[in-house]
Structure 1
């Protein structure tokens, strides 16, 4: 298998873990890894957390230093764009016309920030957060102070709002839903996040729809909403992400909310795999397709793709996991609940240290630990079990005992 030529398109977490996994499993053949950004591969998830908050510098978010790629025989090429795939010839054409031959091609192209096509969206001062350059721009903004408007109350919007507020900025968040994150966590836990941000000085305006960007001196000067105008010094648009599937579409691969893959990350073309944010992969544990834009998924899918290429065992058989840091809240989540699932709280929300279980028909569909550490692995074993709510909430029942139902 070592004579295979492996090309990985994308130098983020998922792509890097394909490469790392191949070498860890003993693959000695040629590997080329292509990155569109000029930066060494880095941990994108830290851009809205530790890096934006100033707790990590650039070196601290790198996945490997530059010497690692040379020492491991990885042909890392940065600042290059993949333009098209010839599946018959098994070649990848770059934007400059160069062609790279492959035996197995891995697409790890990630996602772009979702844009809102409303008036003023292209004004200077309208910001998004998806790459290192954009995180640096936000850090520069924070240093100057002023008023930041945030459109969207999802994970990125809330994390940036918290970082901006902690840096001393005035922050206003607008979103059309009833509570932050209620489409994921439901209204009760969403309300907890709302209270967290309000207590820390965020002007949180839920049930407010953004209609455009105010212009002031040729730049973004605020947000036009269906409840009136809000004057700000800059605006962050954080309304989700769109998978980068243009290359897969050009190649004629199956695309629907991402690139469709089987449980081993293989697309409709057995020579091409897809991992990370773009992969809409079949999860054997849950019996359905999932596309998740999370740190844990990128790591695990990258490693799984490496094993698939080498003919080793493995499948997409784990529960989704993510984490967040906002103000004094640190949280880990594992599972795949619906917003309509019933939340059951172990501990007291007002204490700031608690665990939430979501249930559907008596079965635990997800769990979240807030400021309680070293329990997430145990929570993972409870997800999927039928456990009475009174046992979930009883502090006298050890968490490890709940996995038995």
Structure 2
């Protein structure tokens, strides 16, 4: 481009005095949405819409991360981007945030609406191979991280579902409301991404995996092996063993897209459904089915839903939200059995409670937790009581001494990693299992960075959210126990920040309607709670 033409291509978009330090100012340049960030007399211009779902970035946060420097954070799902390059530094996005040339002349901010090129990564790992067993969020995150950070060796991903990794969060929300013949969860990465970057994708269920040889066996006798193996097979719904009748037709479960499509197809507005559970997925399914017009009753052992995770006050607010929208709760009597229709012995007709009361319904949906899908992994790899593979902070699976020594004798390189529902790491003396979408992607990214021999890094404090009847609640924490919850704001209006404390120390944050604050906390939990602790001390004492 001619230098004079390039100079003319800059647009005058704002006065420098309009920009405040630490805030993002939205502007539109040549029809493009941008945000401006001021650093003294210098200005950075970035894309104004998150590439993940189009969230307005100005509602998030421009802040400093101890791990990544100056960043911007998406308000909706907490994707984190470098201000310096626009590159993804934490999930959930799988594309960079465009960065635009900007300069300040005589107090005016000028921006050229042509994105800067993203620097090409240095090629590495050309003589190494990667096998990913599983096809969910952690798998997609690992693939994206490996290729975007320069891994040049072969990658093979084997998923048990017929689809490529998709947005599983939509299953308990929007997918149940759509046309079952057309509703599809969005893919996390399109087919072209895998094709263009020479990532081999296969759809098969691995029957066994030998940690000693890094060999996976597939139906029909095929085998796959690699230097680095990432185990991300997800989980399967936990079916209570003490409730007879769960094998009947009409008893449903939800973990895959196919199961969500089945629920959307067979559950119709004139029907009644009984849900057995009480956790977030159960509550989200109740919300979706009620919005569809279905009659919903939840049988749960918790008198106050999510009390153990969110505290009593927030749990009661969720209970009221559900009941105000027509969901009935039974918590004083457990399910005894699912009984059959006398006219159709194989068909579920309702749920009988322990006190003998019967709840007729067209379908029973069980949402009682997840079992890690790691039965196919052989050997004595350490596992939690729940069955998940134990990993360290780099997502490496702990290997028994004998196996580790054998691999060293044989000169084998690489490692075995696990992430998502199949893995668990220790935090303050207890095993923590993600069970949520963003943490799974974070873990997949860390595993990929370990394969790339990046220096050990801090595991971000886990964040997740729930959406029920149009209301969103966000959680940030390790699920540690707490003995007090201080709520600032309005619970009835879903506009609050809650501080979960244990012996005076803030161990978790729960919020609604506080996008900027939670976005800052996601990238610097310790710094945020330090400041919050000082403010709480002033308020309480």
Are 2:391 and 1:261 equivalent residues in the alignment?
yes
Shift of 1:296: 1.3
Q: Does 1:91 align with 2:193?
A: no
Structure number with greater CO (CA < 8 Å, separation at least 6) is 1
Indicate conservation of the 8 Å contact 2:461/2:525, yes or no.
no
Match of residue 15, structure 1, among 90, 115, 139: 139
Contact 1:35 1:77 (8 Å CA) reproduced: yes
Residue number in structure 2 paired with 1:37: 161
Worse-matched range after superposition: 46-55 or 33-42: 46-55
Is the aligned partner of 1:292 residue 2:422? Answer: no
1:346 aligned partner = 488
Query: 1:61 is paired with a residue of what secondary structure?
Result: coil
Question: 1:229 aligned to 344, 354, 358, which one?
Answer: 358
State the distance in 2 between where 1:389 and 1:101 align: 50
How far is the alpha carbon of 1:238 from its aligned partner?
Answer: 0.6
Question: CA RMSD for the aligned pairs?
Answer: 2.4
Paired with 1:199 and 1:63, the residues of 2 have a C-alpha distance of: 35
Aligned-pair CA distance for 1:98: 0.7
Cα gap change, 1:87 to 1:242, in 2 (>3 Å): closer
Is 1:238 aligned to residue 367 of structure 2? Answer: yes
Normalising by structure 1, report the TM-score: 0.90
Please say if residues 168 and 185 of structure 2, whose CA atoms lie closer than 8 Å, have aligned partners that are also in contact. no
Return the match for 1:301 from 435, 443, 450: 443
2: distance between equivalents of 1:197 and 1:279?
A: 32
Q: How many residues align?
A: 391
Q: Which runs of 5+ in 2 are unaligned?
A: 1-124, 400-413
2:336 counterpart residue number: 211
- Per the alignment, residue 17 of structure 2 pairs with none
After TM superposition, the score normalised by the length of structure 2 is 0.68
1:288 Cα deviation (Å)? 5.4
- Aligned with 2:330: secondary structure? strand
Cα 1:91–1:372 change in 2 (3 A) is: same
- Tell whether 2:247 aligns with 1:122: yes
Unaligned stretches of 5+ residues in structure 1: 398-405
Q: Specify the alignment match of 1:276 in structure 2.
A: 420
Deviations 1:144-185 (A, max 9, x none): 531111111101110000100000011111111221112222
What residue number does 1:47 align with?
Answer: 171
CA distance in 2, matches of 1:59, 1:215: 32
The alignment partner of 1:85 has SS state of strand
Shift of 1:208: 2.6
Cα contact 2:490–2:496 (8 A) shared by 1: yes
**2-side partners of 1:287 and 1:72: how far apart?**
41
Q: Does residue 230 of structure 2 align to residue 100 of structure 1?
A: no
Q: Report if aligned partners of 1:344, 1:389 keep a CA contact under 8 Å in 2.
A: no
Instruction: Compute the displacement of 1:225 (Å).
Output: 1.3
Q: Is the 8 A contact 1:106 1:274 kept in 2?
A: yes
SS of structure 1 residue aligned to 2:440: helix
Give me the whole-angstrom Cα distance separating, in 2, the residues matched to 1:271 and 1:253.
Answer: 13
How far is the alpha carbon of 1:359 from its aligned partner?
Answer: 1.1
Q: CA deviation at 1:42?
A: 0.8
Structure 1 moving runs of 4+ over 6 Å: 387-390
Alignment of 1:157-236 (within 5 A): 157-216=282-341, 217=344, 218-227=346-355, 228-236=357-365
Kept in 2: contact 1:364–1:382 (CA 8 A): no
Which of 217, 236, 257 in structure 2 is aligned with 1:112?
A: 236
Superposition deviation, residue 354 in structure 1: 1.6
| SS of residue matched to 1:52 | helix
* Aligned 8 A contact 1:344 1:393 in 2: no
Shift, 1:31, TM fit:
0.6
* 2:510 counterpart of 1:368: yes
SS in 1 for 2:492: helix
Distance 1:64 1:323, change over 3 A: same
C-alpha distance 340-181 of structure 1, shift in aligned 2 (>3 A): same
| Contact kept in structure 2, 1:263 and 1:316, CA below 8 Å | yes
Cα distance in structure 2, aligned partners of 1:59 and 1:136: 8
Distance 2:210 2:501 in 1: 47
Match of 1:3 among 112, 127, 130: 127
Q: String of CA shifts for 1:191-223, please: whole Å, max 9, x gaps.
A: 111111011111122233111112123311111
How far apart in 1 are the matches of 2:283 and 2:235? 19
Tell whether the 8 Å contact from 1:210 to 1:223 is kept in structure 2 after alignment: yes
Of 82-91 and 114-123, deviating more is 82-91
Q: Please state if 1:327 is matched with 2:462.
A: no
